[in-house]
A and B are shown apart, each in its own frame.
Chain A
Amino acid sequence: MELTRRDAAAALAALGAGGVAAVAVGHTDDNGGQQADDIDKAAIRRTMVAAAEVVYPDDIAGIDEFVNTFLDSRLAGDRHAAAVDSAVTALDDRAQSWYGDRFAALSADTRDAVLREMAVDTAEPRREGEPRETVRYYVVNELLLALYSSPTGGELVGTENPQGYAGGIDSYQRGPQA
C-alpha cells in the first residue's frame, strides 16, 4: 500500500485550508524563529523516518514523504517539538551506547531491537517519564497516530474513513464491497 499526498494532506484539505498547496512546498521547518535553536530538526526527521520503517507494516511505501509531511505540522510549534527532540535524543543515546551508531544509521532489525531492549513495546505512552515511556509517546505512538488516522492506514484494516480523518459522510453508508 502506498502512502500518498492524499494521506499527507488529509486534515488540511478537509478543513478547506488549501492543504495540497500547503504540503507541496517541501519541509522547511521555518516558523518565524520562535523555536529553541538547539533542536536539530533534520536529526528528528531522520530518526522518525527510521522508526516509522520499523513500526509501520512492511509493505507500506512512501514513508519518507509521509512522515516528513506529518512532521511539518508537528514540529511547527514549541512544546511538542522540544519533547519530540528529547525522546529522539534518548533513543539515539541508547543506539549509540549499545550499537555504536545513531538510531537512523542502524539496520531495521537493529532499530527494532533497540526499541524492544528499551522496553518501548510494553511501555505506557507518557508525556513525562522514563525514556521508554516518552519514546512510546513521542516516537512510536506519534507515528502510529499519523498512519492509522490516514486513509491509507484505514484502508489497510478495512475502512476508508478512519477515526480522526475527515473522510466525508458517504463511506459509512456503503457496504464492504463498494
Chain B
Amino acid sequence: MSGRPPAEDIETSAGASDRTPVDDADVCVVGAGPAGALVADQLADAGREVVVLEAGPRFDFDDRLARQEKAIRPTYDRPDVWDSDPERDAHSNSGEWFYPLNHARAKGVGGSTLHWQGMVMRLHEADFNSKAERGVGVDWPIDYSDLRPYYAAAEHAIGVAGGENPFGPPREEPRPMPAFEPSHSDSLFAEACDELEIAMHPVPNARNSEPYDGRSGCVGYGTCQPVCPSGAKYDGTVHIESAEGKGATVIDRAAVQRLEHDADRITAATYATPDGEFRQDADAFVLAAGGVETPRLLLLSESEQYPDGLANSSGAVGQFFMDHLFAGMGGTLDEPTRQNHVGFLTSETHQFYDEADAELAPFKLEFFNYAGPSPVEMALTGDDWGDDLLERVRDGYGTHIAMGGLVEQLPREDSYIGLDESTTDTHGNPVPDVHWNVGDRALRTIERANELQRSILDELGVEIEWTAGPDSTGPAYHHMGTTRMSDEPADGVVDADCRTHDLDNCWIASSSVFPTGGAMNPTLTIAALALRVADAVDAAV
C-alpha cells in the first residue's frame, strides 16, 4: 500500500490567523461541534454577524489518513487520534461509576463528531413524555410534533441514509439518501430473528450511501469510529465550513473562560488563545460546548448575582447527568461472518422500545458488522510473525459475531457534573468532576436486553464468549441532562425554546437540555434542537 502518510508527520495546523474578537457581532457561539456549527451556519445564512469560539484546534482534512494510523496501531490510545491532551482536558471522577471522559469527546473544530459512530435516529414520541406515558422521569416541555419539522431539516442538513422502520415515530418523507444495504452478517441474524419473530430494520446513518452535498460516498475504510478519511461520515466541520462561506468567523484554540454578565444578560465571553486573552461582545450567546463543558462554563461564571453559577437559579446546572448504557453479547459461529469490512451498522431493531414503563426502560438492539478484532489489529498485537502470525490471524478472524444495544438511564440527583476545586486545567480553572450514577431500572433493562440477545445468538448457534451486562456495562458517550429544559424556572435551566430562564440573551444547543434521554443516540435530536435554537435567536436579535 502506498499513500499512507505517517501519523508522526502530522503538523499542528496553524488555525486562525487572527484570534481577536469580531466587531459588532450579533451572535457568539461557544463550541464548534455539530450543534454550534449548525446554529452558526443557519444564522450566517440569515445574514447575522456570527463568531464561533472553539477551544480546540482546527484539524487538516488531508491528515485524516495519517490519523487513521493512530486508530489502528495499538501504540496510540483512542484520545490520541484527535490529539487530546490529558492536562488540557483533565477531569475527575467522584461517582461510583468510572467515566472515561476523554474517550467520550473530541476537542476541536467538528467536536465529538470527528470521532463519533454516526447513528442518527429520532426519539420516539413517548420519549418526550416519560412521566405521563411511563410513570417515571419527567416530561419534556415540547413534544415530538414540535421537533418533527426540525428533525426533517436536520436529516437533510447532515445527510442521513436510512430506510423504513416499522417501529419509528411518524415521518412525512423518506430520509435524503437510501439506506446502506444489509450486511452478510445481517442475513445470518435475519434467519434467527425470523424464527423468533423479531423484525430487523435499517440503521439510519449520518454517512453517505452515495455522494451527498459535495462529499464522497462511503468507500469502506472501516475506521469510522474514530476517523473517516473520506469525509463520507458527517461531522461538524461540514457546517463550520458552510458557515464560514456565508461570512461567519470561526476562531480555533479560543477556550472560553468565563461569561461576563449583568442580572439578565451575558455581555461578553472572555477567551484564552495562544495569542493572548480576549473578550468577545455580542447581542446573543449560544452555548454549544457539549453536555459536560456547557454546565462547567456556567458554574465557572459564578458571580455575586449568581453565586451558584450563571443561569443557575434553579440549582439544576450540572445536575441530572445521564448517558446511555451499553448492553452487548457476542461470540463465534462455525462459519465466516464477514466482519470489519466497514465500520458502521446496517441493521437494528426498535421492536421492544415502546414496551417501556416504570420498571423497564426503552432500549434498542443492534446487529454488529465489526465484531471481534480486525486482521490488522491482530497482526499488530502478538509476539509472532511470518507464518505463525498468519495462522493466528486466520484462526482468530472471520467467525466473530455480536449484538449491541442502548438502554435509557433516568435523571438522578446523585448523577451530576460538578467542579473539582482541587484540580485545575492548563488555564487554571477547576476541572469537571463527572459524578455518574445509574439506577436499577437501567440495570434491569440491560438484563432484559441481554436475554433477547442471548435468545437470538442461541438460535443462531453462536458460542457466546462475552456479555456486557449490568456488571460490565459502560457509557455510550452521550452527555445529557445537565442544563435541562423545563416549563417552570424552578425546575430547570432552559425554557422550551432552549433559552435560559435567567438570562434573556443566552440559548443552549446541546443534549444537556434533554430532560430525559430515551435510548436513541442523541445527535439527530441535538441537530434538530440546534436548528430550532437558530430560529429562536434569529427572531430575538
Q: Do A and B bind each other?
A: yes
* Chain A residues proximal to chain B, CB less than 8 Å: 7-12, 14-15, 17, 19, 22-23, 54-58, 66, 69-70, 72-74, 76-80, 83, 112, 121-122, 124-127, 137, 140-141, 144-150, 153-154, 156-159, 161-169, 171-176
B376 close to A (CB within 8 Å):
yes
Q: How far is the CB of B462 from chain A (nearest CB, A)?
A: 17
A175 to B190, CA, bound (A): 14
B75 close to A (CB within 8 Å):
yes
A66 to B2, CA, bound (A): 8
Sample 30 A-B pairs with CB under 8 A, ordered by A number.
Answer: A14-B219, A57-B390, A70-B1, A77-B8, A80-B9, A122-B383, A125-B73, A126-B75, A140-B385, A141-B73, A144-B380, A145-B4, A145-B69, A145-B380, A156-B390, A158-B336, A159-B397, A163-B340, A163-B377, A164-B68, A164-B376, A166-B221, A166-B229, A167-B220, A169-B209, A169-B342, A171-B220, A171-B341, A175-B338, A176-B184
Report chain B residues within 8 Å CB of A161.
220, 222, 341-342
A112 to B182, CA, bound (A): 44
B15 close to A (CB within 8 Å):
no
Q: How far is the CB of B324 from chain A (nearest CB, A)?
A: 25
Report chain B residues within 8 Å CB of A122.
383
Report chain B residues within 8 Å CB of A126.
75
Q: A141-B73, A145-B380 are in contact. Are A8 and B229 (CB under 8 A)?
A: no
B141 close to A (CB within 8 Å):
no
B517 close to A (CB within 8 Å):
no
User: Nearest B residue to A108 by beta-carbon distance?
Assistant: B386
Between B229, B230, B343, B374, the greatest number of chain A beta carbons within 10 A of the residue's beta carbon is seen for: B374
A7 to B376, CA, bound (A): 14
Contact B3 A22 (CB under 8 A): yes
B384 close to A (CB within 8 Å):
yes
Contact B184 A162 (CB under 8 A): no
B422-438 vs A, CB cutoff 8 Å, 1 = contact: the mask equals 00000000000000000
Q: How far is the CB of B508 from chain A (nearest CB, A)?
A: 37
B88 close to A (CB within 8 Å):
no
Report chain B residues within 8 Å CB of A7.
1
B176-212 vs A, CB cutoff 8 Å, 1 = contact: the mask equals 0000111110010000000000000000000001000
User: Nearest A residue to B369 by beta-carbon distance?
Assistant: A172
B389 close to A (CB within 8 Å):
yes
Contact A168 B219 (CB under 8 A): yes
A173 to B375, CA, bound (A): 18
B352-386 vs A, CB cutoff 8 Å, 1 = contact: the mask equals 00000000000000000100001111111001111
B223 close to A (CB within 8 Å):
yes
Q: A57-B387, A159-B375, A163-B343 are in contact. Are A17 and B3 (CB under 8 A)?
A: yes
Cβ contact of A145, chosen from B182, B340, B376, cutoff 8 A? B376
Q: How far is the CB of A87 from chain B (nearest CB, A)?
A: 12
Q: A55-B385, A168-B219 are in contact. Are A163 and B376 (CB under 8 A)?
A: yes
Contact B338 A176 (CB under 8 A): yes
Contact B5 A146 (CB under 8 A): no
B166 close to A (CB within 8 Å):
no
A148 to B383, CA, bound (A): 16
Cβ contact of A163, chosen from B5, B374, B385, cutoff 8 A? B374
Report chain B residues within 8 Å CB of A9.
1-3
B298-316 vs A, CB cutoff 8 Å, 1 = contact: the mask equals 0000000000000000000
Report chain B residues within 8 Å CB of A157.
375, 390, 393-394, 397-398
B65 close to A (CB within 8 Å):
yes
A172 to B186, CA, bound (A): 10
A117 to B329, CA, bound (A): 41
B467-495 vs A, CB cutoff 8 Å, 1 = contact: the mask equals 00000000000000000000000000000
Q: How far is the CB of B231 from chain A (nearest CB, A)?
A: 10
Q: How far is the CB of B3 from chain A (nearest CB, A)?
A: 4
Cβ contact of A172, chosen from B2, B3, B6, B341, cutoff 8 A? B341
Cβ contact of A19, chosen from B3, B72, B398, cutoff 8 A? B3
Q: How far is the CB of B391 from chain A (nearest CB, A)?
A: 9
Q: How far is the CB of A153 from chain B (nearest CB, A)?
A: 7
What are the 5 closest A-B residue pairs judged by CB atoms, nearest first?
A: A77-B9, A80-B6, A12-B3, A172-B341, A163-B374
B334 close to A (CB within 8 Å):
no
Report chain B residues within 8 Å CB of A57.
386-387, 389-390
Q: How far is the CB of A152 from chain B (nearest CB, A)?
A: 10
Contact A149 B376 (CB under 8 A): yes
B218 close to A (CB within 8 Å):
yes
B172 close to A (CB within 8 Å):
no
Given contacts A163-B72, A176-B338, 10 further A-B contacts (CB under 8 A): A70-B2, A76-B5, A141-B380, A159-B340, A162-B376, A164-B68, A169-B219, A169-B220, A172-B369, A174-B338
B74 close to A (CB within 8 Å):
yes
B413 close to A (CB within 8 Å):
no
Q: How far is the CB of A150 from chain B (nearest CB, A)?
A: 5
Report chain A residues within 8 Å CB of B380.
125, 141, 144-145, 148
A175 to B180, CA, bound (A): 16
Contact A154 B5 (CB under 8 A): no
Report chain A residues within 8 Å CB of B1.
7-11, 66, 69-70, 146, 149-150, 165
Q: A127-B75, A157-B375 are in contact. Are A15 and B230 (CB under 8 A)?
A: yes
Contact B379 A121 (CB under 8 A): no
A22 to B374, CA, bound (A): 28
